[in-house]
Amino acid sequence: QVQLVESGGGLVQPGGSLRLSCAASGSIFSIYDMGWYRQAPGKQRELVARISSVGSTNYANSVKGRFTISRDNAKNTAYLQMNGLQPEDTAVYYCNAQVRRIGSNALNVYWGQGTQVTVSS
């Protein structure tokens, strides 16, 4: 199986920064796209940022210029550097990854359990 574990969430004041990490482990042959999504109370889950295996990125308009997604392929880990955080960024942040498992030609999508980010004074 494949597991994704997020870390780095917490409580931060407006204007502050946090760095989220998402570590993938298990029977991984290769990881294609990795992404960060978020879900605020009463709202649908939305894309925050995605990064391909070769480093191409795309961002939600609401976070462009403030958030940066990156990855370390050797560590099967993705990161989300969040600067200039605002109360509207408060949400549970989820990581996902498109993974080809060892011994399989299928591409499956896996999700982490989520990490809470709260922006408040």
Other CB atoms within 10 A of residue 91 CB: 22
Q: Which amino acid is at 14?
A: P
Q: CA–CA separation, 29 vs 6, rounded Å?
A: 20
Structure-block tokens of residue 117: 């980010």
**CB of 33 within 8 A of CB of 98?**
yes
Task: Encode pLDDT of 12-49 as tens digits.
Answer: 999 999 999 999 999 999 999 999 999 999 999 999 99
Task: Encode pLDDT of 45-104 as tens digits.
Answer: 999 999 999 999 999 999 999 999 999 999 999 999 999 999 999 999 999 999 999 999
